[in-house]
Amino acid sequence: MLIIEITALDNGAHRNQEGGLRTVPEGWARIPDGMEIPDTFPFVDIEVNGQTVTSMTAGIVPEPEPEPEPEPSLDEQVAELQEALHMILEGTTE
Amino acid sequence: MENLVPLGTGNSRFMKSNIQASTTLAQLIQMLNNGTFPYDIGPLNPAGISQQGTPLNKATLLKDATAALFGFGVDALPDDMFNALAHTGDLHVWKRTQNGEVDYPVSPNPDAYQDGTSGNTTIEYLGQLGNKAQIATGSYVGTGTYGANNPNTLTFDFEPKIVILWYQISTWENSANVFLLRWNYTTQFAPGASTNSNASDYISYITYSGNTISWYNANHPLYQLNNVGNTYSYLAIG
């Protein structure tokens, strides 16, 4: 069973869960089998009757959060420290 | 079961009454009007039916032997059985070996049968039907939100013992990040954990409420396992 939280989040998406549920949680609705799921899911506009979705249309997908800058790996950090140490030692030998 | 199908010719049943032969028509009418006319509903008249139908009686609704399988006595009602079936998780099961034949009686009463051997009958308690492992699997699609005000949630029909979350690492087709959470015990997990000084940025914080688990990361949907359009999978065992 595919369920969707009735109230959308601030960005227009709906929390969702697909699995072997027997009970639809309060505040959620069941998407009937066979209902067409827009490609924008879970950014959708829905109409519900009780805890059953009766209509689902495509919503607007916002720009994704920029990927966080990858942290330097341990090897990269060691290489940076080695280079800094080398520069220091070179400086003291002048 | 089969329905009784009368022909509609007014002769599907016989009727018997013990009114006296001397009863007058007026007396008969008065008895009928007063609701005091005595009679027995007689048997079906084969000439007036096309299909006899399955009779409704003790043998067809609830045999004593069937009631006994659930630990009920001869006075059990069908409603008692329906109630027991509606609460099968509460039923206890035994293995009974009697004269080499085996059956599995059940009862809502845990003391209905006693373990051990008596004569040619051996009873062994097998457990309670509801005390069996349950498994739920499923997935969700990331919404792109994060933070304490936008936690992820997963709800189950039962309270799991553990929940396993995983998602495919897009760059490695045969690899996945897997997180194993012990229910009501694991309070943090860290997708994208790093050994650098900002390791706390990666931590997602977990709460449990009934059959629902929630978690959030304060910094990025990626670390909350909630990237837009990504599908995340779960397995719950309880």
- Pick from B144, B153, B156: CB nearest A13: B144
Angle, CA B157 vertex, CA B153 and CA B162 arms, to 5°: 65
Model pLDDT for residues B81-124, shown as the tens digit of each residue:
898 888 777 888 899 999 999 988 888 888 888 999 999 999 99
Q: Which residue has the tokens 């139908």?
A: B53
Q: Does B154 touch chain A (CB under 8 A)?
A: yes
Distances (CA, A) of B191 to A14, B60, B174, B226: 22, 61, 18, 11
Q: d(Cα A65, Cα B184) in Å, to the nearest integer?
A: 31
Model pLDDT for residues A27-68, shown as the tens digit of each residue:
999 999 999 999 999 999 999 999 999 999 999 998 877 776
Radius of gyration of chain A (CA): 25
Q: Which range (A45-59, B1-15, B124-138) has the least confidence?
A: B124-138
pTM (2 decimals)? 0.60
| A2: pLDDT strictly greater than 50 | yes
CA torsion sign for B159, B132, B188, A74 is negative
Model pLDDT for residues B147-172, shown as the tens digit of each residue:
999 999 999 998 999 999 988 765 55
Task: Name every chain B residue with its beta carbon within 8 A of the beta carbon of A29.
Answer: none
Q: Following DSSP, what letter does each residue of A25-56 receive, concatenated?
A: PTTEEEEPTTPPPPTTTTBEEEEEETTEEEEE
- Pick from A9, A20, A77: CB nearest B137: A20
User: To the nearest whole percent, how much of chain B has pLDDT over 90?
Assistant: 62
- The DSSP bridge partners found for residue B123 are B96, B116
Is the CB of A11 less than 8 angstroms away from the CB of B157?
Answer: no
Is the CB of A68 less than 8 angstroms away from the CB of B219?
Answer: yes
Is the CB of B144 less than 8 angstroms away from the CB of A10?
Answer: no
- pLDDT for A70: 63
Q: Which has the higher per-residue pLDDT, B90 or B52?
A: B52
Q: Average pLDDT in the B220-225 region?
A: 92
Size of interface A-B (CB pairs under 8 A): 76
